[in-house]
């Protein structure tokens, strides 16, 4: 994953707080969205899980915070309020759930 590693190294380099000032979100599972109807949803989920596992390992190596928002995205399968009108993208409600997951990172960083 050289491209991800290069981006992460760049983010760390320009961060005022180095790795402690950088965080990464997992890739959401778009395969649960209505847009994915007729596609191989299992394959989509498997590929996203593999990618997320790889970037999580890289984040751990660089001591960068990693937030797994994928389970929140998968809630869209049974929660239409998490789906935007285009039937592919997350709604404001889902983004809000992601923010709730990441917000403690900023509260901790602010106190340092």
On whether residue 50 sits in a domain, the answer given is yes
pTM of the full structure: 0.88
- CATH number at 9 reads 3.40.50.1110
pLDDT value for 109? 57
Quote the number of domains for the chain.
Answer: 1
DSSP conformational letter for 17: T
Q: Find the domain containing 94 and state its range.
A: 2-106
Q: What would the mean pLDDT of 46-73 be, rounded to a whole number?
A: 97
On whether residue 65 sits in a domain, the answer given is yes
pLDDT value for 1? 86
Would residue 90 be called left, alpha or beta, if left means φ above 0 and alpha means ψ between -120 and 50 degrees? beta
pLDDT at residue 45 is higher than 90? yes
The structure tokens listed for 45 are 């989920």
pLDDT at residue 69 is higher than 90? yes
On whether residue 111 sits in a domain, the answer given is no
């Amino acid at each position: 994953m050289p491209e991800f590693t290069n981006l992460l190294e760049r983010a760390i380099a320009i961060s005022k707080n180095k790795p402690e000032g950088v965080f990464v979100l997992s890739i959401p599972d778009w395969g649960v969205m209505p847009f994915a109807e007729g596609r191989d949803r299992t394959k989509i989920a498997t590929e996203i899980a593999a990618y997320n596992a790889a970037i999580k390992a890289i984040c751990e190596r660089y001591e960068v915070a990693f937030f797994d928002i994928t389970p929140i995205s998968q809630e869209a399968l049974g929660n239409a309020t998490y789906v935007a009108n285009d039937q592919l993208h997350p709604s404001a409600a889902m983004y809000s759930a992601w923010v709730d997951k990441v917000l403690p990172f900023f509260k901790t960083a602010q106190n340092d």
